[in-house]
A and B are shown apart, each in its own frame.
Chain A
Amino acid sequence: MAGSSGSLRAYILARALLAVPMIFLLLTFVFLVLRVAPGDPVTTIFGERGNPVIIDRVKRELGLYDPLYIQYFRYLADIFTGNMGTSILTDRPVIDEVNDRMPATLELTFSSMIVASIVGISFGVFAGTRKDTPADIGTRLFATVAYNIPVFWFGLILKLVFSLWLRWLPPSGRFSPRLDIPPRVTGLYTIDSLLQGNIPAFVDAVAHLILPSLTLGLVLAGFFVRITRVNVIRAMHADFVEAARARGIPERLVFFRHALKNALVPVVTTMGLTFALLFSGAILTETVFSFEGMGRYVFLAISFRDYPSIQGAVVYYGVLMLVISLLIDILNAVIDPRIRY
């Protein structure tokens, strides 16, 4: 056992060390791409009314006239000292912008993943255990349609049905304008309202999450159904499953203890990476439902060449993706010792 845990420690250490050059490369790549792209943030933001004197002064203040290598080292130094800079577009610290928008993205991501996991895994298992039956074909059809359905169209249809026609659910936003937003603790309205003991606020926050998370969750579910189904079919015909059956273990136990567990390893890996991608903001869903999350933020930052915001967001995404990848690798290494170094 000691040898085994030592091996795991070495594996984690190796993966963590590999992350450092990856982040460095990512930072360098983003820096260069932004400088190569046409347009600069100051001219873009000032637009047709730009006073050349002021534009010149602002560019000077931002160090945009400095040689590229000086800008680069200043950029790296700032990031490694935790200074993400100030948004050129909004004049607010990038870290504040991220703090304001992260909770929206977190709530949307978690709720969508819950929908996607429940629907994706259950339908995938359902289809996988009925290979080539009408039920399987029907489920595969559902998965294909769900995965290919345009998010903005699906979101709009849900809003028309549940908000405009039935008047059951709010059409957009995170919280009713007629209610007071609960005092910020986490920024997550669902959690903050519960902490405040404000049940109507909690219900309102959950109600505002239902349509966006169904929209995004069902689209993702289409993808998860297909992956789960394939892996279930593969696992059900694996030698160890046949061996278990041969030992007379009841089919229910064979499925849950042996087949499902193995089938879900690649599914969990995919889900983890999808989860990390969603943190970067599901821009279409955020736009369709007026959710001011990270996706919208990055879109605006790119539109206006807001270097500090883009760079800050990329650093945040990069670190997040690496951490989640690392966690997935560790989880897989724990489940399957064969993949350790």
Chain B
Amino acid sequence: MVGADEMATAQQEVPGARRPWSKKLLAVIAVVLVLIVVGGAAAYVVLTTPPPAKVLVAGTTDDERTFDPADAYDYFSINIIQNTMAMLLTYEPGTSNLKPDILSEVPSVANGGISADALNYTLRIRPGVKFEDGSAINATVVKYSLERSISLGGEPSFLLDAVASVTKVDDLTVKVTLSRKWSPFVSLLAFSNTAPVHLALTDDRFYPNVVISSGPYRLAKYLPHQRYEFERNPEYYGTPAKVPKVVIVRYTTAVDLKLAIQTGEVDVAYRSLLPQDFNTLKSDPNLRTLQGDSPFIRYIVFNVCDAAGVTSGWCPRATPFSDVRIRRALAYAVNRSEVIQSSYPGVVSPLYSLVPEGMPFHTDAFKTRYGESPNIAQARALLTAAGFSETSKLSFRLWYTPSHYGDPELLVARAVERAWEATGMVDVTLDTKEWADYIVAWLAGDFDVFLLGWFPDYFDSDNFVFPFLHSASGGTASFGNYYQNATMDGLIEDQGATADPAARAPLFDEIQTGLAWDAPYIPLFQGEQQVVFRPNISGIVLDPVQFFRYFLIDVA
């Protein structure tokens, strides 16, 4: 028997009696944790010193979708293809000038590559070009690849809609016949969906994970969505790549990419650092930076659907923005400098046309029509004419999508809102949907005014006007814009029918002037490319077509 007093004593002693062992346990745990961190770190530093081999390590936040040229339609997938596969044509580094790649010449009327009626293109193939397995790239391969790209109906296949037939003329010559005159077809020969693919890609299906290389590098290894390793392709016909091996690492966030270049984990950081991070890294003495033009554009879309359009079945519902006076008023009021300063300071430039600066035929049509700075007086006059006042304001929602274009998108929307509300006659409500729902809503014509962006499919100025402004392109409807103008349609068709720059220039002038006059879109800014690299890196070229060439980069 234990007495009541003894029990009480035992209970009181409990806490004190347990302390020695738990203190020891805690001490052991603390030591183990410290050992894990410090020991792991020390071992990491000592044992993982970079090997001396010449390897270029690049970091990106981009992700791949498919390596099949017939289906690739996103920047990074195409960039991998561009570095591992030779194209029919390519671009002079640093320019948007076409030059031969697998073809021995750029087709033109002068060299007989384009027929007098502009419907037949003769593709003459460079002899001796091979895939990495040594098999030849000849007319059979080129014909097969073009037909495959059309018949499989991949994402970019519509770009080849104008192709009526592909014929093998001889072992090194292919003839492509178009169903209509369309001069941008030459530019398409430098796009990935016309790149010759190996005849082993059979069975009428896509091969998203297979690259049989014909370019400067071969894809030696890759971990989907994480890591891509290039090795020099010994069978490449052209100048060998500068560095024998390239490793591209994908980071989930821009912050990780910044840390990776700061800590030396990567040699090059390309696409996409946050604007403020890029500006910080510019002043880092251990790093170098480059900026260059980009064909990426951002703009405001108006849903211009009117009552007549609804009656004819062209568009789903009429909006206030069918009144051109309102669109012009908002074009007068928009403040591009504020948009850029608040969201992308120093890394984008103002845009006054849908055709970006650096592309042929660009004009500053909106600057000419509405001025460089906001003109609030003109905006108010037009709004007054349209029946609005400070007591009876024009009210609408401005839609944006919060993550697809990056975190600063909210700042872009706010800057536009502020500029328009500065008229005192407009009441803007910002609203947002995630990308998946955003697409559905604009395709259904649910938005009146919204923000969008565009990266061209092919590097011809046609790609900045046809999908946006030609009513038969399917584009104006698929942009949720519903613009329809017969004169504009005719001008766009005329410029596409001729390859002569002298003939196209005045047509593009008229198109851009018409665009500014009708204002179905308001161009805001065009992107710039930024790259950060370590001082031992050379040979980086940022060209206007945004073809990032790993094979020209060297490591000292």
Interface residues of A (CB under 8 A from B): 38-40, 43-44, 46-54, 57, 89-92, 97, 100, 115, 118-119, 122-123, 125-126, 129-131, 133, 156, 159, 162-164, 166-179, 181, 199-200, 203-204, 206-207, 210, 214, 236, 242, 245-246, 251-252, 255, 286-292, 296, 303-305
Contact = CB atoms under 8 A, between A and B. Distances in A.
Pick the most buried of B247, B442, B467: most chain A CB atoms within 10 A of its CB: B247
A264 B336 CA distance: 63
B43 interface: yes
Contact of A46 (B57, B155, B221): B155
B274 to A, nearest CB: 13
A245 B253 CA distance: 57
Nearest to B65: A90
Contact of A130 (B15, B252, B266): B15
Interface of B: 2, 7, 10-11, 13-15, 17-19, 21-22, 25-26, 29, 32-33, 36-38, 40-45, 47-48, 50-51, 55, 57, 59, 65-66, 71, 73, 153-155, 157-158, 206, 208-209, 221, 223-227, 247, 249-253, 255-256, 259-260, 262-263, 265-266, 434-437, 439-440, 442-443, 452, 454, 457, 467, 474, 478-479
Contacts of B157: 51, 54
11 contacts: A38-B437, A43-B443, A44-B440, A48-B439, A53-B153, A126-B25, A159-B259, A163-B263, A171-B263, A175-B227, A242-B7
A177 B251 CA distance: 11
Contacts of B14: 236, 245, 251
A177 B457 contact: no
Contacts of A162: 37, 41
A246 B7 contact: yes
A289 B253 CA distance: 8
Contacts, number: 210
Contact of B18 (A48, A210, A251): A251
Given A51-B157, A172-B259, A251-B14, A305 B436 contact: yes
B66 A177 contact: no
Contact of A90 (B38, B208, B440, B479): B208
Given A57-B153, A172-B260, A49 B73 contact: yes
Contacts of B19: 129-130
A131 B440 contact: no
A302 to B, nearest CB: 9
Contacts of A163: 259, 263
Given A91-B71, A166-B41, A203-B43, 11 more contacts: A43-B440, A48-B479, A53-B153, A53-B158, A125-B25, A167-B45, A169-B40, A173-B256, A245-B11, A252-B17, A290-B256
Nearest to B18: A129
A60 B507 CA distance: 41
A28 to B, nearest CB: 23
B265 A171 contact: yes
Contacts of B10: 245-246
Contacts of A177: 57, 59, 227, 247, 249, 265-266
B286 to A, nearest CB: 12
A168 B265 contact: no
B457 A49 contact: yes
Contacts of B66: 90-91
Contacts of A174: 226
B437 A214 contact: no
B15 A303 contact: no
B78 to A, nearest CB: 13
Contacts of A168: 37-38, 41-42, 44-45
A206 B38 CA distance: 12
Contacts of A303: 434-436
A51 B29 CA distance: 61
A230 B454 CA distance: 57
Given A54-B153, A290-B256, A172 B251 contact: yes
Contacts of A89: 65
B452 to A, nearest CB: 7
Given A126-B22, A207-B41, A287-B252, A39 B452 contact: no
A163 B44 CA distance: 12
Contacts of A289: 252, 256
A51 B475 CA distance: 9
Contact of A119 (B2, B21, B33, B260): B33
Contacts of A207: 40-41, 43-44, 48
B456 to A, nearest CB: 11
A170 B36 CA distance: 14
Given A178-B51, A210-B40, A125 B259 contact: no
Contacts of A203: 40, 43-44, 47-48
Contacts of A181: 221, 223, 227
Contacts of B439: 39, 43-44, 47-48
Contacts of B443: 43
Given A51-B157, A176-B48, A290 B474 contact: no
B252 A50 contact: no
B44 A170 contact: yes
Contact of B263 (A46, A122, A167, A206): A167
A246 B255 CA distance: 60
Nearest to A125: B22
B208 A92 contact: yes
A118 B33 contact: yes
A172 B479 contact: no
A39 B155 contact: no
Contacts of A178: 48, 50-51, 55, 57, 247, 265
Contacts of B440: 38-40, 43-44
Contact of A122 (B11, B26, B435): B26
Given A100-B224, A125-B22, A126-B22, A170 B17 contact: no
B233 to A, nearest CB: 19
B162 to A, nearest CB: 14
A289 B257 CA distance: 11
Given A118-B33, A255-B18, A176 B265 contact: yes
Contact of B452 (A48, A171, A291): A48
Contact of B474 (A38, A51, A122, A210): A51
B26 A204 contact: no
B252 A286 contact: yes
